[in-house]
């Protein structure tokens, strides 16, 4: 397996840092893009990317603007919005893959927010299949008691307060991710979480045409011990991909002889022989 660091230039001129993983002897020109969760750097997905590459896929990981290697110290984090991650960043990644790699089949793995933002890019209809890992709607009433009240507190109080007059929100302090997040992203994210339709609510005035028309099949994973992505919230998110054939697997950790999986456990190396193999098998079944 080989790797290559790459630079990705967005339509608005922002530069992102990414990494390509190549199989030593690729048989098919099939490519997987890994869309990160909020506050999670691309390095977190390196083992999963290596696994996919070892099975013949070309894999691209990247950091959203304001995260990890894509931080520009000259840019105020208050000016970055969460929608920018889909409208500009993911869009530029898709464009680079389609132009430079010309994949026979194009797949996307979206972790949490990474599956929410896909329809904001006009290139999304080029995707042949998607795997969503713990990808919920963040509207707080989709969550179970008592966590939903903690989430409401976050959306209405903590997120606005800790974003106020800051460039970056201290995500690690409230344990929503390992990296600090641009405060403008958190402000917009909180506004979505306070509305019933999340980012799809009419209040936010997004063009939802791409979401309504994308027909790529989706394999979605949720885990019963994940307070951030309960089954109801995941189903609410998936409802915004009405043309896609969706297979939603809600898994108990005990089903895999695990004590805990949670929001991040899918990408741990311990899932290599179970969920990672299952994902490969699902992708291969589509390519027959």
How confident is the model over 113-141, as pLDDT tens digits?
999 999 999 999 999 999 999 999 999 99
Any domain includes 156 = no
What pLDDT was estimated at residue 29?
86
Any domain includes 152 = no
Distance from C-alpha of 119 to C-alpha of 125, rounded to nearest angstrom:
9
What residues pair up with 59 in beta bridges, in sequence order? 21, 32
How confident is the model over 222-259, as pLDDT tens digits?
999 999 999 999 999 999 999 999 999 999 999 999 99
Tell me the CATH number at 90: 3.40.50.1820
Any domain includes 118 = yes
What pLDDT was estimated at residue 21?
97
Distance from C-alpha of 257 to C-alpha of 271, rounded to nearest angstrom:
11
pTM for the whole structure: 0.97
Mean per-residue pLDDT, 61-68: 97
Nearest to 247 by CA among 211, 286, 213: 286
Any domain includes 185 = no
Phi, psi for residue 3 in degrees, rounded to 5: -130, 155
Any domain includes 23 = yes
What pLDDT was estimated at residue 176?
83
Any domain includes 89 = yes
Any domain includes 125 = yes
Q: In angstroms, what CA-CA distances link 152 with 139, 195, 205, 241?
A: 9, 11, 22, 25
How confident is the model over 2-17, as pLDDT tens digits?
999 999 999 999 999 9
Mean per-residue pLDDT, 167-196: 93
Distance from C-alpha of 271 to C-alpha of 193, rounded to nearest angstrom:
30
Q: At 25, is the pLDDT very low, low, confident or very high (cuts 50, 70, 90)?
A: confident
122: containing domain: 2-138+206-286
Res. 288: pLDDT tops 90 = no
Mean per-residue pLDDT, 193-207: 97
What pLDDT was estimated at residue 204?
98
Res. 27: pLDDT tops 70 = no
Any domain includes 11 = yes
Distance from C-alpha of 171 to C-alpha of 220, rounded to nearest angstrom:
25
What pLDDT was estimated at residue 26?
64
Give the count of domains, the chain: 1
Distance from C-alpha of 84 to C-alpha of 88, rounded to nearest angstrom:
5
Mean per-residue pLDDT, 73-85: 98
Res. 189: pLDDT tops 70 = yes
Is residue 129 classed exposed, middle or buried when 0-12, 13-18 and 19+ CB atoms within 10 A define those classes?
A: buried
Peptide bond into 146 cis (omega under 30): yes
């Amino acid at each position: 397996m080989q790797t290559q660091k790459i630079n990705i230039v967005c339509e608005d001129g922002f530069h992102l840092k990414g990494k390509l993983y190549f199989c030593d002897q690729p048989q098919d020109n099939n490519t997987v893009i890994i869309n990160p969760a909020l506050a999670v750097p691309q390095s977190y997905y390196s083992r999963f990317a290596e696994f996919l590459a070892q099975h013949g896929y070309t894999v691209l990981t990247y950091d959203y603007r304001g995260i990890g290697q894509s931080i520009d110290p000259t840019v105020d984090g208050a000016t970055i919005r969460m929608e920018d991650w889909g409208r500009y960043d993911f869009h530029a990644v898709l464009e680079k893959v389609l132009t430079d790699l010309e994949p026979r089949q194009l797949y996307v793995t979206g972790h949490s927010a990474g599956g929410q933002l896909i329809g904001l890019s006009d290139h999304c209809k080029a995707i042949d299949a998607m795997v969503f890992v713990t990808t919920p709607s963040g509207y707080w009433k989709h969550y179970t008691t008592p966590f939903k009240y903690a989430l409401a507190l976050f959306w209405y109080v903590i997120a606005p307060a800790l974003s106020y007059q800051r460039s970056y929100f201290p995500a690690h302090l409230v344990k929503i991710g390992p990296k600090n997040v641009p405060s403008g992203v958190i402000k917009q994210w909180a506004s979505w979480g306070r509305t019933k339709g999340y980012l799809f609510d009419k209040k936010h005035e997004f063009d939802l045409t791409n979401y309504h028309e994308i027909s790529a099949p989706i394999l979605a994973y949720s885990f019963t011990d994940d307070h951030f992505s309960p089954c109801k919230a995941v189903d609410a998110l998936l409802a915004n991909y009405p043309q896609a054939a969706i297979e939603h697997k809600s898994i108990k950790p005990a089903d895999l002889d695990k004590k805990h999986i949670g929001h991040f456990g899918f990408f741990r190396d311990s899932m290599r022989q179970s969920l990672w193999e299952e994902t490969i098998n699902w992708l291969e079944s589509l390519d027959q």
